[in-house]
Amino acid sequence: MSALASRLQPFAPYALALLRIAAALIFLLHGAQKILGWPAPPSSGMPPVLSLYWIGGIMELAGGVLLVLGLFTRPVAFLLAGEMAYAYWFMHAPRSVYPLLNGGDAAILYCFVFFYLVFAGPGAWALDNRRR
């Protein structure tokens, strides 16, 4: 291991926690928009209750809060990674093969960040760490 890598290694759990918290905060805003109309309602209007779009909003809002807290991180991240894979392939990909053109680049990024959390865990500053 290089000298730089060995000096940075102790900070890895904190960098992972920052990734988890930042991604979750931005992600939960997508759910807040769909479910609460905050900070502004979706341009397509509020989704009908129990519609696929509404269920996705519930997952984004509740899952985002749980990830910010670092509570049930691995199972929640697994479900959200699956939601984002579904969102990409069924909502974005049919528009175009290119993520930049179909608006699915965020869905792909969220999918892989959440998939990483399934294996890496929550990092520091997580309620999961107190449950062990």
Cβ atoms 48, 21 nearer than 8 A: no
43: number of Cβ within 10 Å: 6
Reported as a pLDDT band with limits 50, 70 and 90, residue 132 is low
Q: Is the pTM of this model over 0.85?
A: yes
Give the pLDDT score at 20. 98
**Nearest to residue 91, comparing CAs of 35, 39, 132, 52?**
52
User: d(Cα 95, Cα 104) in Å, to the nearest integer?
Assistant: 10
Q: What's the average model confidence in pLDDT over 92-107?
A: 96
Residue 34 structure tokens: 């769909």
d(CA 65, CA 67): 5
Note whether 70 and 86 are within 8 A (CB): no
Q: Are residues 26 and 35 in contact, defined by beta-carbon separation less than 8 angstroms?
A: no
Task: Kindly report, residue by residue over 22-72, the tens digit of the pLDDT.
Answer: 999 999 999 999 999 999 999 999 999 999 999 999 999 999 999 999 999
Radius of gyration of the chain (CA): 16
Mean pLDDT of 11-18: 98
